[in-house]
């Protein structure tokens, strides 16, 4: 089992797409084990996007994610990091495949609705930035016996 960090960015919140986007993760069988709506500080945005410092889009990216509240989610499931990246789709909404979140809801390169950790190591680093341990509720939901077969869970 993995937990990944998902952020519904200001455009998703402002456009009233939180429910539609959360539904994509829930109907897949993934579990939301942490959630909060927060206004992001420039300090936290800087830590989160540290790998992009110095890139031409960095200043605009930090300005965007700090401009209005975001919904931060911790999502858990088997191979949750890769599964969520697939559900989210390519970075630019105009290139993202139909059926993905970005492919179905967006047209922008920067205003692309959702962040998802890109590797298990990134997920671990990012979860520690955004959540305290007591904000994550890992206890198994009863759905798991119907989402995964016994071989999946070996």
> How far is the C-alpha of 142 from the C-alpha of 104, rounded, in Å?
30
Q: How far is the CB of 79 from ligand DAT (least distance, A)?
A: 17
Window 94 to 153, contacts with ligand DAT (CB under 6 A): 109-110, 112, 115, 118
Residue 52, classed as helix, strand or coil, is: helix
Of 48, 115, 137, 141, the catalytic one is 115
Q: Is 42 exposed, middle or buried (0-12, 13-18, 19+ CB in 10 A)?
A: exposed
Q: Using CB under 5 A, which residues numbered 99 to 118 contact Mg ion?
A: 118
- Least separation in angstroms between residue 1's CB and ligand DAT is 22
Cα separation, 99 vs 91, whole angstroms: 14
Q: Does 47 bind ligand DAT (CB under 6 A)?
A: no
CB-CB contact of 86 with 42 (8 Å): no
Phi-psi region of 144 (alpha: psi -120 to 50; beta: other; left: phi over 0): alpha
91: partner contacted, choices ligand DAT, Mg ion, none (Cβ within 5-8 A by kind): ligand DAT
- Residues of span 61-100 touching ligand DAT by CB under 6 A: 61, 91
Residues 33 and 136 sit within 8 Å (Cβ to Cβ): yes
The answer to whether residue 48 is catalytic is no
61 binds, among ligand DAT, Mg ion, none (CB under 5 to 8 A by kind): ligand DAT
Q: Which residues of this chain interact with ligand DAT, rule CB under 6 A?
A: 52, 57, 61, 91, 109-110, 112, 115, 118
């Amino acid at each position: 089992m993995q937990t990944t960090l998902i952020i519904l960015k200001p455009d998703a919140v402002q456009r009233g797409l939180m429910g539609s986007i959360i539904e994509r993760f829930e109907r897949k069988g993934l579990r939301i084990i942490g959630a909060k709506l927060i206004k992001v500080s420039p300090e936290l945005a800087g830590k989160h996007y540290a790998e992009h410092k110095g890139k031409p889009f960095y200043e605009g990216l930090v300005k965007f994610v700090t401009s209005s509240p975001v919904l931060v989610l911790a999502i858990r499931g088997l191979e949750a990091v890769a599964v969520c990246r697939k559900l989210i789709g390519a970075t630019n909404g105009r290139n993202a495949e139909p059926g993905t979140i970005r492919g179905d809801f967006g047209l922008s390169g920067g205003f692309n609705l959702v962040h998802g950790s890109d590797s298990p190591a990134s997920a671990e680093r990012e979860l520690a930035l955004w959540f305290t341990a007591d904000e994550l509720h890992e206890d198994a939901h009863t759905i798991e016996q119907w989402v995964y077969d016994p071989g999946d869970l070996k």
